[in-house]
Structure 1
């Protein structure tokens, strides 16, 4: 039996790789499909993220006998209120702080140049390669700032090119909230009862994994952003609101994101005052300890069951392959893939009832 299963596994593997190779050879046929998927990806992904965040609210309202349509409309009113508050009370001060930071970039470069010269004068020996590298970085800080600004404006231009896609997000979100609960019964209606039961279990597990990650990560990031904002204001750090929001969004990247957000905050703190830099570093460490030891375990639990080393490896690989979007989506994609493989493994190894084996 073991040899028979191994032979079937090898046959399936060969067939899968053959299909992948044929798809690669005939890629020109699927290119229009890829273009279509890319066109609708933004509204679907955006609406999907909002769906997992807002659907519990709609379900809670429905639990209290509020009609689902009314609950959806109330959630939309809440989203409009959040957008209004952001546009009028958060975005203007963040934009002002960002403009001041860019204006102060030359002074920061001069400050670091003076620090390097002071340190250089007190050293008896510095390797020429190290000295040349540091001096080159300092001399090109302005160009680095301009490059970052150019990349930022290119990013803003790309965002505006997707405005139409973002306009579609509310429409996708409305129908997801309204009819999302009908998807699993619809998908399983094409299969026999035994296979439909297995497929329903698989889809529910995928939904549970995505829901746990998206809802948990959003709530954890919000808590971290609030803690950073309070801490930055307490120590008098310049650009506190901008840096706290940056930390909030970077916290969406598990494990690595919080430390990425710490770098600019600590540098700006040391530029402002060495003690402010020290206190900023302390605030970052304390916030991450609270998040990792108290908030995340209680909010997200261990639903995903992904080892930290696995997450770091996935993030490094995804960042190199797909950039920032890869950093954001690699963990939930891995969780979904793991759920699917685990499901079919249990079906294949007879760990489920006989009626649920051989799904396809």
Structure 2
């Protein structure tokens, strides 16, 4: 009889496992990875270097949108040709800015000596009033503690003013670019869409429409707010007898574009000129700006948000601070429209398209 054959033992796990082939990096892959890293670094460096250029481009877009909106309103009202309507909108905006600063600047120049004499006297009167009630020492200690911070803030504000005053070339560049953009916006829109991939072209078109709608709504609401602030400030200062009430009112209306910070900047020269009348007038001027600020924050600002984009106030405040840190005075000036545009683009591109969430884009009816 033949003996039964024995089954061969199953191969062990060690025997089954094959040693992994060592990873090999060809010179071509290493070179490709190096090129990609260098390209990313170069693009990042280029973006950081050209931040001011990008802000100037955005400023031209915002100003061009303002020109386009005013020209469209003139065409609907008067039936004039677009070229004349656009020229009228440009001349009107320049006249408003020039008139405000001429009215205020001439009056301020004539009152400089008076301010220099009145402010120290007013401060001495305030100190005497505080000493009478035993608060003078405490206030002086607080003033000494905060003196360095205030000096630093004033120096930074002076730097912003110097940068704004020396930016004539930038202003001319933005003005000319805005006129070109407003004269034929369809051409620039079509050229931007041609740069997009075919799959993203529809989303990009909708995003541009959303941004334009939000920006237009912001401009309408902000125009009403600025007019109200200018009228109330000018009328209130005139009743108080403050010099250059008209110019100060126009400046307050123009600076209302800057959220939170604009009214503070507008209030400083008003209080200084009020000191030329009396310390009591300066105090009432401060109260006037506080009341108008409350009116703007509780009534006018919600109206703007309803017209454009419901951006939370805290987000808007942090956006102003961040824009000032990153882009300086120009960033502070453009913080509000930039926040509006970024807000609607995030809703359209990220939340609605990439995440697929069914939301209503801000600014849509």
**Shift of residue 307 of structure 1?**
0.8
More helix by share: 1
Report the counterpart of residue 13 of structure 2 in structure 1: none
1:1-360 equivalences in 2 (<5 Å): 25-26=41-42, 30=46, 34=49, 38=52, 42=56, 44-60=57-73, 66=79, 70-80=81-91, 83=94, 87=98, 90-115=100-125, 117-119=127-129, 121-122=131-132, 123=134, 126=137, 130=141, 133=144, 154-155=162-163, 158-160=166-168, 162=169, 165-189=170-194, 195-266=200-271, 268-269=273-274, 272-298=277-303, 300-301=305-306, 303-342=308-347, 343-351=349-357
Change (3 A) 1:298 1:153: closer
* Conserved 8 A contact 2:230-2:250: yes
* Conserved 8 A contact 1:255-1:308: no
* Conserved 8 A contact 2:221-2:307: no
Change (3 A) 1:216 1:224: same
Change (3 A) 1:280 1:129: closer
* Conserved 8 A contact 1:72-1:178: yes
Report the counterpart of residue 16 of structure 2 in structure 1: none
Identify the structure with bigger relative contact order (alpha carbons < 8 Å, sequence gap 6+). Answer: 2
Any idea what SS the aligned residue of 2:166 has?
helix
* Conserved 8 A contact 1:250-1:261: yes
Any idea what SS the aligned residue of 1:305 has?
coil
Aligned-residue RMSD, C-alpha: 4.3
Change (3 A) 1:194 1:98: same
Change (3 A) 1:153 1:262: closer
* Conserved 8 A contact 1:46-1:169: yes
**Shift of residue 232 of structure 1?**
1.0
Change (3 A) 1:290 1:271: same
Q: 2: distance between equivalents of 1:286 and 1:128?
A: 25
**Shift of residue 221 of structure 1?**
1.7
Gaps of 5+ in 1: 1-17, 353-360
**Shift of residue 180 of structure 1?**
0.6
* Conserved 8 A contact 2:316-2:339: no
Gaps of 5+ in 2: 1-33, 359-365
**Shift of residue 314 of structure 1?**
2.4
**Shift of residue 207 of structure 1?**
1.7
Change (3 A) 1:66 1:21: farther
TM-score, normalised by the number of residues in structure 1 = 0.69
**Shift of residue 233 of structure 1?**
1.0
Q: 2: distance between equivalents of 1:329 and 1:193?
A: 32
Q: 1: distance between equivalents of 2:167 and 2:189?
A: 33
